[in-house]
Structure formats: C-alpha cells, structure tokens
Chain A
Amino acid sequence: MVTIRVQAEDFDPTVETAVLTKGRTDVGAIVTFTGLCRDEGGMLNALELEHYPGMAEQELARIAAQAQERWPVQGIVIIHRFGKIPPGERIVMVSVSAWHRSEAFCAAEFLMDFLKTQAPFWKRQNLGDGTSGGWVAGKEADEEALERWNTK
C-alpha cells in the first residue's frame, strides 16, 4: 500500500501514519521521518517551494516502487508540501511499515535520500529583511548519499 501526496496544506503525521496499521495486526515496525523548515539562526522568514506538478507525484511513486523492490516493506506514505512554508512548519514526511525494524529504517532513509535529489522540488529562501535569499543550491553531500545505495 503506497500513499503519495503533493499538497500546499499542512498534514498530521499521526493521522497519515494510521493508515499503515488500519485493520491489520502483522505490522512490526513503523519508521516515520518528518522534515521541518528551520529558521537558519533567525535569518529565514519562509521557504518557497516550487514543484513540477504531475512529475513530482510520478517521481515519488517511482522512488517508492524502488524501495519496495529492495526491501520487504508493507506500506509507504510520502507527503511533500509546496508553496510558502514558514520556520517550524512541516515540509515533508516519509513513513514506512514493515514486519521488522531494519527494513523500515533502511527504506525510510533510502526514500529520503532519493527524494531530495530526484523529486522535482526547488527551495527558495525568503529572508527576514524582506529580500530573497536566492535558490537553495543542491548539496554534494546529498548526491553522495545516493552512492552508498549503489554499492549495497
């Protein structure tokens, strides 16, 4: 069972995660990651997230399918927001249910690593002084994070 949503509105991870266990008693582990907008030491007023409608959902679904091929997982929830997001608010969540914790941890980390570099979203900083801080640059560390999944 895979849930993929791309939306402007906030979400409640507790509610979203509940679908993974509804009506079943064979789930042994749920790993949920929530990514928040941080204030960058008080400098940031908000992040503005642009996305590629249609492809964003498709790419998240492709990444989820890859995770399902690699690990025996039971369910996956991926929710990613777009638009203006102030510090303290949620941006993204990934939740994975599995029979055992190891698969849930691995799949959740894999999903986030691929999501960050493969899903068509772009962040722009909106600074506290009213100016644009520019587009956030892609990080080498994020690209490197992908490579370790190739060797396993």
Chain B
Amino acid sequence: MKAIYFAWVRERIGRSDEEITPPASVANVEDLMVWLTRRGEEYAHAFENPKVIRVAIDQNHVKHNAPIAGAREIAFFPPMTGG
C-alpha cells in the first residue's frame, strides 16, 4: 500500500509518500502507526503523539481502530487548518 504524509508529519519523516508492506499482524491504523514508529527516529518523531494524528484510507477519514486490510492509500496528517 501507499503511505502519504502531509504538513509536519511529512517534514518529520522527510518524504511525502512511500510504498509500505506491513505484515499481516498489523491489523488496524493504530497498529500501523506503531509499526511505522519502529522504522527509525524520524518516524518515531512524527508519531510521538499518535493521538493527534489524523488518518485517511483511500481518501476517506477513518478512526484509529479502522482495519487497514485492502487499503490502497493511507494518509497521515496533523489536525486540519484550512478555511
């Protein structure tokens, strides 16, 4: 699946998107953030306070307990500040 990052999540990780292949044990969004955190310091920094991170699967907002099976695109970003 494709992971996409925006705003300070993108800046902390140092890239805007990447292909990721989490193991089957990574079932939901919360698990995925824990798994990403283990990829390195920059990920640990981006996900240091996972509660504030908003997530969209295939361009729809989802909660952290949402399953990731079948997702093509998962985006991680801070609370939105448009308008």
**Does A pair with B?**
yes
Q: Render B38-61 as a binary contact track against A, CB cut-off 8 A, 1 for contact.
A: 000000000000000000100111
Q: Is the interface of A mostly helix, strand, loop or mixed?
A: mixed
Determine whether the beta carbon of B7 is less than 8 Å from that of A54.
no
Q: Interface residue count for B (Cβ, 8 Å)?
A: 16
Q: Quick one: which of A58, A122, A137 contacts B59, CB cutoff 8 A?
A: A58
Kindly state the separation between the CA atoms of A121 and B83 in the bound complex, as whole angstroms. 8
Instruction: Decide yes or no: A54 and B82 within 8 Å by CB, A120-B6, A122-B77, A124-B7 being known contacts.
Output: no
Task: State how many angstroms separate the Cβ of A4 from the closest Cβ of chain B.
Answer: 13
Across the interface, name the chain A residue whose C-beta is closest to B58.
A55
- Residue B78 lies at the interface, judged by CB distance under 8 Å to chain A: yes
Kindly state the separation between the CA atoms of A115 and B8 in the bound complex, as whole angstroms. 20
Instruction: Decide yes or no: A120 and B81 within 8 Å by CB, A52-B6, A52-B75 being known contacts.
Output: no
Task: State how many angstroms separate the Cβ of B74 from the closest Cβ of chain A.
Answer: 12
- Residue A68 lies at the interface, judged by CB distance under 8 Å to chain B: no
Instruction: Decide yes or no: A92 and B6 within 8 Å by CB, A120-B77, A135-B78 being known contacts.
Output: no
Kindly state the separation between the CA atoms of A52 and B61 in the bound complex, as whole angstroms. 12
- Residue A27 lies at the interface, judged by CB distance under 8 Å to chain B: no
- Residue B24 lies at the interface, judged by CB distance under 8 Å to chain A: no
List A contacts of B8 (CB < 8 A).
135
Q: Interface residue count for A (Cβ, 8 Å)?
A: 27
Instruction: Decide yes or no: A123 and B81 within 8 Å by CB, A52-B75, A55-B75, A118-B61 being known contacts.
Output: yes
Across the interface, name the chain B residue whose C-beta is closest to A113.
B83
List A contacts of B82 (CB < 8 A).
49, 51, 80, 92, 115-116, 119-123
**13 A-B interface contacts by CB (under 8 A):** A35-B83, A50-B7, A52-B56, A52-B75, A55-B56, A80-B82, A80-B83, A92-B83, A115-B82, A119-B83, A120-B80, A135-B7, A136-B81
